Amino acid sequence: MHSNLLPGLTSAATLLGLAQGQSQPYHDWAKAYEAAEALVSPWTTEQQANISVRYGTAPGFVPFEPSDGPTGVSGGQGVSGWVGGQTIASSWNRTLLADHYGRMAVEFREKGYNMLLGPSTGPLGRSPLGSKLWEGLGSDPYLNGKLFGVSVAAIQEQNMISCGKHYLANEQETNRTSYGSDDPAMRTSSNLDDRTLHELYLWPWIDGVANGMGSVMCVMNRVNGIIGCENDHIMNGVLKNETGFKGFIVPDVTAPLDKTAGLNGGLDWNSGYSLSQLMAAVNNGSISESVVNDHALRIVATQLNLLLPPEEYASTDETTDLNVRDAGSKDFIRRAGSEAIVLLKNKNGTLPLKSPKSLGIFGKDAANLATGPTPQSDFSNFAGDTYDGHLITGGGSYSPAPYVVSPLDALTARAAEGQGFGYKYILSDNWTVTPPESTGEGFFQTSGVSVSEYASESEHCLVFINAFGKEGSDRRTLADETGDKLVNDVADYCSSTIVVMNNAGVRLVDAWIDHENVTAVLNAGALGQESGHAIADVLFGDVNPSAKLVYTIAKSEDDYNGQICACCECDYTEGLYIDYRHFDQAEIEPRFEFGFGLSYTTFSHSNLTITPTTDTTTLAAYATGNVTEGGPSDLFDQILTITASVSNTDDIAGAEIAQLYLSFPDAAKAPIRQLRGFEKVYLEPGVTKTVTFPIQRRDLSIWDEEEQGWKIVGGDYGVLLGKSSRDFTAEGSIEISTFR
């Protein structure tokens, strides 16, 4: 930190705190803005402008210290390697995500940073080939938003600023920026209608704003023809005015090109201008003093609202080698990882493994090979469809990890503990399948190691494959032929073949899923530093899997509709119909649907009850309340309470995720079904609990493009309770009448 300025800021902050009868952080935007006004108003225009310049100071103001890394402190030493966003989202556990991001935020704070560039809500998932989807929180806006909101709140509870990423419609890496060119037309333009913008891509951001999010990172790509970090409509019009966002906007790298347009369009900090360049734009009238003042107020108010006084944070210059890993972090990461593993197949109860005698271990993903423990940073080049070793994270923003526990490490530890099994391994995806001709005779005869030999000699065969995705270059396939062949080669010789996929996004399985000897499949994602232990915990039944897919796994890549666009106009002609919404609308049978996931126990649902909490026969069609954080205040009014009973019908304790979907009246022209509630409940054998789904006005609304407002369309609303987006256990309906 800039210690020479600390006394000035401490004094100013203390005086402001005394004046308000409250000390920093305020945790009250109105009081924070009042205090910010008192601090900023005596400044000259140049002083106000200076704090929107990176590392710029002003009387009584010290700049904040940001650090990137949605999976940990970027490039940091002595920090943890956390579970990837899309992976931990598969837990569907709000409490787990809050704990995860709260613990991560503590490491940032102890390193001297007070702004965490994360979590990532976008990309959402227009195309499964989008290579940064592993950072996000799933392909449904409702699920994504709920998890995004609690994660933002958890970070900021640690006296940190959460900077949500990436606003808005950053759905592919291809041509997201124009490397080596200042021509904006060389950047992809996400061209989408206003309803799609609001109901899909803006939806999770509303949850972030409603949870007090302090900062937002705008995108490098264009949105409807205008670079995201220069786009007045999406930054000022939508984010700041419509949703009532009180914080400040920062740019992603290389954005904007037109810095004046960026600052006028809503970009508050680090436009790329020096102070002299910024003041030249002010003096020639290109940027008004009121714009400069607004930027300064937003930056100062956010700090006063969320951060401790600056002397409470360590200097980053002094923490480079400081170990800030909490003793309990590794155990938490292991537990979080195991809760995020989705069990896709379990034929004849293959899992959990029951006192196995011999295991065959196959595939490069089983061990730490080549280089590591995490991928090298490379923001522009394609780095392959798979990772040459055990995958614990995707690539980008320099994801840290102090070490990696691979599956082979974890299995070795269990074998060493005397659990009664031995193993053989082939740490390659492309090994000889059948034995070569033998050499020698008698005692000296040998035939060499082969997949068929090791597989046929093993009671169970564990095949580890992965799918890699990284910042800067989109994926080129959703399945690699070499990995598919390895699974089939092992399964041809092993009657109990268990496939474990560590994947940065969707990985197709149809090349082998119906093989009679493929008896179990785990979709393990990017599990962080304790990956191997988390996988072993599920394999051996120490953890009963409870995760569900946060995207759809198709039978064929051609079944998806959103594609990566070539340079440089990308028309979102699919509109609202991405992921399961598309599969439902197009009547395409997926291999594994959104929300799917098995357990080692069984559950039943019953007693679906729909109770209005207001008069649903005379509802105003439009939300018209004063704008608060998130939008019109009445947008968050509760309209319905829906309850159901969930029972554990087996003899093993476990957790079930009850999912609630709504179907809208035909006049709404909405997707066939949309997720509007989920609740994860842990149940001992034979126990029944009640789950509750509060339904807000927002959950029943569509975006009316003509009226530019959130509207409830009157008519019959279907209510579907289920275990996934296609497996429903109870149905009901309610009639809603509206007036203008």
What is the full DSSP assignment across 329-346? HHHHHHHHHHHT-EEEEE
Q: Which of 112-126, 209-223, 424-438 has the lowest mean pLDDT?
A: 424-438
For residue 513, give Cα distances in angstroms to 387, 519, 539. Answer: 22, 9, 18
542 and 613, same domain (yes or no): no
pLDDT in tens, 560-605: 999 999 999 999 999 999 999 999 999 999 999 999 999 999 999 9
394 and 304, same domain (yes or no): no
pLDDT in tens, 335-361: 999 999 999 999 999 999 999 999 999
CA distance 542 to 371: 31
651 and 722, same domain (yes or no): yes
DSSP β-ladder status, 688-696 and 497-503: unpaired
The pTM of this model reads 0.97
Q: Which pLDDT score, from 0 to 100, does residue 13 have?
A: 44
pLDDT in tens, 357-367: 999 999 999 99
Residues 517, 494: contact at Cβ < 8 Å? Answer: yes
Whether 567 is covered by a domain: the verdict is no
Number of domain units in the chain: 3
Q: What is the 3-state secondary structure (H, E, C) of 278-327?
A: HHHHHHCCCCCHHHHHHHHHHHHHHHHHHCCCHHHCCCHHHCCCCCCCCC
Residue 447 reports pLDDT greater than 90:
no
Label residue 439 by pLDDT band (50, 70, 90): low
154 and 184, same domain (yes or no): yes
CA distance 325 to 346: 36
Label residue 465 by pLDDT band (50, 70, 90): very high
Q: Which pLDDT score, from 0 to 100, does residue 440 have?
A: 67
312 and 361, same domain (yes or no): no
48 and 178, same domain (yes or no): yes
CA distance 458 to 26: 62
Label residue 445 by pLDDT band (50, 70, 90): low
175 and 142, same domain (yes or no): yes
CATH of the domain at 208: 3.20.20.300
Label residue 19 by pLDDT band (50, 70, 90): very low
Domain boundary among 551, 583, 614: 551
Domain boundary among 258, 287, 316: 316
CATH of the domain at 501: 3.40.50.1700
CA distance 403 to 336: 17
Residue 12 reports pLDDT greater than 80:
no
277 and 184, same domain (yes or no): yes
Please enumerate in sequence order all residues whose Cβ is within 8 A of that of 474, keeping only pairs 6 or more positions apart, or say none. Answer: 127, 129, 130, 131, 172, 173, 174, 564
Residue 436 reports pLDDT greater than 90:
no
Task: Name the phi and psi angles at 367, rounded to 5.
Answer: -145, 165
Whether 192 is covered by a domain: the verdict is yes
351 and 495, same domain (yes or no): yes
Structure tokens at 721: 């309770």
Domain boundary among 516, 551, 586: 551
Q: Which pLDDT score, from 0 to 100, does residue 201 have?
A: 98
Whether 180 is covered by a domain: the verdict is yes
Whether 563 is covered by a domain: the verdict is no
229 and 341, same domain (yes or no): no
Label residue 18 by pLDDT band (50, 70, 90): very low
What are the catalytic residues?
A: 252
Label residue 255 by pLDDT band (50, 70, 90): confident
CATH of the domain at 702: 2.60.40.10
Residues 309, 13: contact at Cβ < 8 Å? Answer: yes
285 and 345, same domain (yes or no): no
Whether 632 is covered by a domain: the verdict is yes
Whether 572 is covered by a domain: the verdict is no
Q: Which pLDDT score, from 0 to 100, does residue 225 have?
A: 98
> Average pLDDT, stretch 526-546?
98
Residue 682 reports pLDDT greater than 60:
yes
Q: Which pLDDT score, from 0 to 100, does residue 100 have?
A: 98
Task: Count the neighbouring beta carbons within 10 Å of the beta carbon of residue 279.
Answer: 17
Please enumerate in sequence order all residues whose Cβ is within 8 A of that of 78, keeping only pairs 6 or more positions apart, or say none. Answer: 321, 322, 323, 324, 325, 402
Q: Which of 266-275, 392-401, 476-485, 683-692 has the lowest mean pLDDT?
A: 392-401
Domain of 201? Answer: 3-316
Task: Considering only residues 426 and 77, tell me which one the structure prediction assigns the higher pLDDT.
Answer: 426
pLDDT in tens, 56-102: 999 999 999 999 988 999 988 999 999 999 999 999 999 999 999 99
Whether 337 is covered by a domain: the verdict is yes
65 and 199, same domain (yes or no): yes
pLDDT in tens, 235-246: 999 999 999 999
Whether 405 is covered by a domain: the verdict is yes
Give just the sign of the alpha carbon dihedral 283, 289, 291, 294. Answer: positive
Q: Which pLDDT score, from 0 to 100, does residue 380 have?
A: 76
Q: Which pLDDT score, from 0 to 100, does residue 381 have?
A: 84
Task: Considering only residues 438 and 652, tell me which one the structure prediction assigns the higher pLDDT.
Answer: 652
Q: Which pLDDT score, from 0 to 100, does residue 21 have?
A: 55
